[in-house]
Amino acid sequence: MAQYDAIIIGAGMSGLAAGIRLAMYDKKVVVLERHYVWGGLNSFYQFKGHQFDVGLHALTNYAARGARGLPLSRLLKQLRIRWDDLDLHQQGFSAVSFPGVKLKFSNEFELLRSEVARAFPQQADGFDALTRAVREFNELDLEAPQQDARPVVRRFINDPLLEDMIFCPLMYYGSAREHDMDWDQFVVMFKSIFFEGFSRPQQGVRHILKLLIDRFRKAGGELRLKTGVRRILTDGNRATGVELDNGETLTAETVLSSAGLVETERMRGQEPGAQATGKLSFTETISVLDQPAKHVGIEETIVFFSNTARFNYAQPADDVDTSSGVICMPGNFDLPSTPRDHLVRITNIANYDRWAALGSAGFQPASGAGLRPAPQAADETSAAHAGATPALPYYTAKQHWYERSCADAISHIADFRPHVTLVDMFTPRTIRHYTGHEGGAVYGSPKKLRTGATGIEGLYIIGTDQGFLGIIGAALSGISMANRWVLQRDTSAVEAT
Ligand X SMILES: Cc1cc2nc3c(=O)[nH]c(=O)nc-3n(C[C@H](O)[C@H](O)[C@H](O)COP(=O)(O)OP(=O)(O)OC[C@H]3O[C@@H](n4cnc5c(N)ncnc54)[C@H](O)[C@@H]3O)c2cc1C
End-to-end CA distance of the chain: give it in Å, rounded. Answer: 34
In angstroms, the CA 331 to CA 286 distance is 13
- Minimum distance from residue 440 beta carbon to ligand X (Å): 9
In angstroms, the CA 234 to CA 444 distance is 24
- Give the interface segment with ligand X, choosing from 395-403, 406-414, 466-474, 486-494 (CB under 6 A): 466-474
Q: Considering only CA atoms, which of 428, 419, 365 is closest in space to residue 393?
A: 365
- The alpha carbon of residue 129 and the mean position of all alpha carbons in its chain are separated, in whole angstroms, by 28
Does the protein bind ligand X through residue 12 (CB under 6 A)?
yes
In angstroms, the CA 435 to CA 229 distance is 13
Does the protein bind ligand X through residue 440 (CB under 6 A)?
no
Does the protein bind ligand X through residue 197 (CB under 6 A)?
no
Does the protein bind ligand X through residue 474 (CB under 6 A)?
yes
- Minimum distance from residue 15 beta carbon to ligand X (Å): 6
Does the protein bind ligand X through residue 284 (CB under 6 A)?
yes
Query: Which of 8, 22, 30, 41 lies at the binding interface for ligand X (CB under 6 A)?
Result: 41
Contact 227, 208 (CB under 8 A): no
- Give the interface segment with ligand X, choosing from 55-63, 99-107, 154-162, 310-318 (CB under 6 A): 55-63
- Minimum distance from residue 360 beta carbon to ligand X (Å): 21
Q: In terms of DSSP bridges, do strands 238-244 and 44-47 run parallel, antiparallel, or are they unpaired?
A: unpaired
In angstroms, the CA 486 to CA 254 distance is 7
Distances (CA, A) of 177 to 15, 18, 182, 272, 426: 23, 26, 8, 17, 22
Does the protein bind ligand X through residue 60 (CB under 6 A)?
yes
Distances (CA, A) of 348 to 131, 178, 416, 471: 28, 14, 18, 19
Query: Which of 301, 435, 483, 497 lies at the binding interface for ligand X (CB under 6 A)?
Result: 435
- Minimum distance from residue 17 beta carbon to ligand X (Å): 8
- Give the interface segment with ligand X, choosing from 49-57, 303-311, 359-367, 388-396 (CB under 6 A): 49-57
Does the protein bind ligand X through residue 463 (CB under 6 A)?
yes
Does the protein bind ligand X through residue 88 (CB under 6 A)?
no
- The alpha carbon of residue 43 and the mean position of all alpha carbons in its chain are separated, in whole angstroms, by 11
Closer to ligand X by Cβ: residue 26 or 353: 353
Q: Please count the residues of this chain forming the interface with ligand X, following the rule CB under 6 A.
A: 39
Does the protein bind ligand X through residue 263 (CB under 6 A)?
yes
- Minimum distance from residue 284 beta carbon to ligand X (Å): 5
Neighbours of 231 (CB within 10 A): 15
Spell out, one character per residue from 288 to 327, where the chain touches ligand X: x when CB under 6 A holds, - when not.
----------------------------------------
Query: Which of 83, 228, 294, 381 lies at the binding interface for ligand X (CB under 6 A)?
Result: 228
- Give the interface segment with ligand X, choosing from 12-20, 81-89, 359-367, 480-488 (CB under 6 A): 12-20
Q: Considering only CA atoms, which of 299, 292, 300, 286 is closest in space to residue 419?
A: 292
In angstroms, the CA 239 to CA 132 distance is 43
- Give the interface segment with ligand X, choosing from 21-29, 37-45, 125-133, 140-148 (CB under 6 A): 37-45
DSSP per residue, 429-447: HHHHHHH--GGG-TT--SS
DSSP 487: I
Q: Where does 41-106 have alpha helices with state H? A: 71-79, 83-86
Neighbours of 404 (CB within 10 A): 26
Does the protein bind ligand X through residue 446 (CB under 6 A)?
no
Question: Site residues (CB under 6 A) for ligand X?
Answer: 9-15, 32-35, 40-42, 55-60, 228-229, 258-259, 263, 282, 284, 347, 431, 435-437, 442, 463-464, 469-471, 474
